[in-house]
Amino acid sequence: MKVALKVLFAYFFTSLFCSNVQAEEVLNQVRETNIEGICIKSLDMDDNSLNVKQVLMCVESLKHKRKYDSAVNLLLKCAKEDALCLKALGELVYYHNLRDYYDVVIEFFEKYSLSHKGWRNNTLGGLLLKRSKGDDLAKATILFEEAFKAGSTIALQNLAEIAFIMKDYAASLRYLKTSESYDLKKKDPEQYLNWARLYAQHLHYGFGLEKDLAKALLLYKEIVGLDKTGGTLFLLSAIEFTQGNNKTAIDFLMQSAELGYINALDKLGYLYMKGEVVNLDLDTAMSYYQTSAELGSATALYNQGVIYRSRKEYIKMKISLIKAAKKGHVKSKNILESNGIALDKFSFFDGHLTEIK
């Protein structure tokens, strides 16, 4: 079940700002216009003179360098007045699991995005689902229902996925059945990808209908070429492991990891760290964990700490655990607290840990 839920979170809504091709075009513009200097000046001097296009160009450059905190701070400057900035902010915080910003970004969407357009409700619903505090899931469901009534078929898919996460598998399948009537395979391949992947997971894990690995495998293989995130490859690896095809499973995991899929990176790191299915290799494990940590995985940071401890590199272990705890990793936080280490004495910004004097 844990595997299924992790995969779902990676796909919850469609990209709000730009595709990979568009992002590369923006990065080329950044290089050509040498706007990076302007970006740095705007951040360092609290300068609000950038126009929206310049802000979005800066954000793409910062994301490319994995300076997510700086990117968020830049977008917060214009998100109150501009819908594109707000969209980009929601996408950034959602897709990169920037949990420290969930509260402030949810507040931005509630206060400054008064229109009930599909993108607003889908994004806010997704962020509420990520945060999952109090009645967040109920609020997210209402938002998705409003978006669907306003004509968003993406919202219908989101309703199917949130029902799946809430273990209401009958409702999830009903939403999927309604989605199927829109002939997504021909009209919207991207939404069909989401539909097929979720339905395949129902078959894969036997949730709400009879378990059928053969049919799930056929659906995964049908959509794997459309999925550029690596998530379907990760699901394929899970089936291959179940069937005892370890070599094929590892191949799928590696392909998924090459696409930057965090679950695959963490899984490979774990396998090499434990010597399960593959030969024990802590250096290779550390490499996978490092990439995953740079992409936002708190679990990877914690496991790096475990490896550092086994090597008696205690300072590095402490740094990894603090970084993991700052990202919300409960076990890391408990370890640090039991050793008298206060998290509020440290700042974690753009991947760099700084002790507050």
- Evaluate whether residue 265 is within a structural domain: no
Residue 285 lies in a domain: no
Q: Which two tokens stand for residue 32?
A: 């050509």
Q: Which of 213, 247, 271 is the last residue of a domain?
A: 213
Question: Would the pLDDT of 35 be above 60?
Answer: no
Domain stop point among 45, 74, 107: 107
Q: Hey, how many other C-beta atoms are within 10 angstroms of the C-beta on 7?
A: 21
Residues 76 and 149 in one domain: no
| Same domain flag for 86 and 186 | no
Position 17 pLDDT exceeds 80:
no
Report whether 265 contacts 292 (CB < 8 A): yes
- CA gap 248, 254 in Å, rounded: 10
Into how many domains does the chain fold? Answer: 2
Is residue 29 one of the residues assigned to a domain?
Answer: yes
Q: Phi first, then psi: what are they for 147, rounded to 5°?
A: -65, -40
Lowest mean pLDDT among 11-20, 59-68, 88-97, 231-240: 11-20
Q: What is the longest distance spanned by two Cα atoms in the chain?
A: 60
Q: Is the pLDDT of residue 195 over 60?
A: yes
pLDDT at 321: 96
159 dihedral zone (left: phi>0; alpha: psi -120 to 50; beta)? alpha
Q: What is the DSSP string of 303-343?
A: HHHHHHHHTT-HHHHHHHHHHHHHTT-HHHHHHHHHTT--G
In a domain, 65, yes or no: yes
Q: Which of 60, 82, 107 is the last residue of a domain?
A: 107
Q: What value does the mean pLDDT take over residues 70-93?
A: 88
Residue 91 belongs to some domain of the structure: yes
Same domain flag for 103 and 28: yes
Is the CB of residue 200 less than 8 Å from the CB of residue 11?
A: no
Task: Report yes or no on whether pTM surpasses 0.85.
Answer: no
DSSP E strand boundaries for 79-231: none
Domain that holds residue 142: 115-213
**3-state SS of the chain: helix, strand, coil percent to 5?**
70, 0, 25
Indicate whether 200 belongs to any domain.
yes
Q: Does some domain include residue 4?
A: yes
User: Average pLDDT for residues 206-235, to the nearest whole number?
Assistant: 95
Q: Is residue 325 part of a domain?
A: no
